[in-house]
Structure 1
Amino acid sequence: MKSKPTLVVFDPKGDTELFKLCMSKLGKNVVSCMSERLPFDQGREAYLTHKTPDENPYGSDDLGCEEWLNGWSHEEEIDSEQAWDWAENRFKS
């Protein structure tokens, strides 16, 4: 069974030496978000600016891909205006 990726997030004042140590132990299973918005937040913003799920900037093998989609889906689920048309796979005009 394939293990789930590990996501380690450091705040902007985080310890870069600790991050380097984690990278050496976990490799690409570690994502640094030291000065960037989290993929979840980027996905939320993408929905609010009417970007489609196909515009996810993360590749399917990137740890941020699922988090971005989770953020996008979160906003879609709480959207009281239901701007996304699932039948047409696009935002309503």
Structure 2
Amino acid sequence: MKTWTDYLPQIPFSCCDLPEGGEWMTQEEAASSLGIGPIHLNALTHNTHRIDLVRTTGKELAVTRASVDAEKHWRATAPRWRKALRLLKDIVLSF
């Protein structure tokens, strides 16, 4: 017999356990590395899915180092019109 929890969407990162090591960082480290606040980091992880979340072996949420590096590279190399277009797209899709 199915329960009400069977109809909830599955969270894709809930089963991806990473070993302790250098391929992930805490959310606080990621926010300070990108030079943004924790609220902005949450928007990047949950709303736009640009930063990948994973679960560590301690069952805490962490951020992959590769996605933080990719976001840093995009912020450093993207022209202003691409940044403005991305901002507009994020605003429109947030409603």
Instruction: State the TM-score, normalized to the length of structure 1.
Output: 0.28
Q: RCO higher in 1 or 2 (8 Å CA, sep ≥ 6)?
A: 2
Structure (1/2) with the larger helix percentage: 2
- Greater strand share, structure number: 2
TM-score, normalising length: structure 2: 0.28
